[in-house]
Chain A
């Protein structure tokens, strides 16, 4: 079966711009989580969605937002980009919840200049 698909793979944006990242989970998986990975902070949890509802949110500013559609596809948006937002953004899907184990996408590498 198809894995978790993240688009785009690479993105270069300018400070102050906004960006939208997309994630298509494995078919049948209803939980989608987003993580930010940086060399300094490691993997930081952003948010988790299940059946179009945000169930959990990490400690990120309101510039970071997300949503999930009825087909379980998810998007995350970052507004007013800052240099520190440069990171690898990873999407992970699970059948029900993280306790069952994640399947990760390959990530979107965002560079803010």
Chain B
């Protein structure tokens, strides 16, 4: 089942512009994570924000979390052609066997940064 749903599904911008992607989820979470995937490759972990945090920065990345609205946003500032990729949000979900966890991923936002 999908937990996170990203919006928009696709985004095309020019180099130097900012890119904002949004994620909505359905249930209570412990944390929310963002990943990047270059075409046909594995995912790369970008940033993790815990449920008691509202904002987090990492380089050109800024993530916000609003647990009351069950939503998160990823902002990439001063985008570069190398940022072209799909971006996924993922929420943790407690498994049926106590203590184990899995991540549930959204379907992603495909970002294209044009030189």
Enumerate chain A interface residues (CB-CB to B < 8 A).
4, 6, 33, 35, 42-43, 45, 48, 50, 55-56, 58, 88, 90, 92, 97-107, 109
Contact = CB atoms under 8 A, between A and B. Distances in A.
- How extensive is the interface on chain B, given as a class? 20 to 34
The interface residues of chain A, by DSSP majority, are classed as strand
> Closest 4 A-B residue pairs measured CB to CB?
A55-B100, A104-B42, A56-B95, A43-B105
Given A42-B2, A99-B30, A99-B92, A90 B42 contact: yes
A88 B40 contact: yes
Contacts of B43: 90, 92, 102, 104
Contact of B96 (A35, A56, A92): A56
A58 B95 CA distance: 10
Nearest to A101: B45
A55 B95 contact: yes
B107 interface: yes
B17 interface: no
B46 to A, nearest CB: 9
Interface centre among A35, A56, A97, A98 (most CB of B within 10 A): A98
B11 interface: no
Given A90-B42, A106-B41, A98 B103 contact: yes
B4 to A, nearest CB: 10
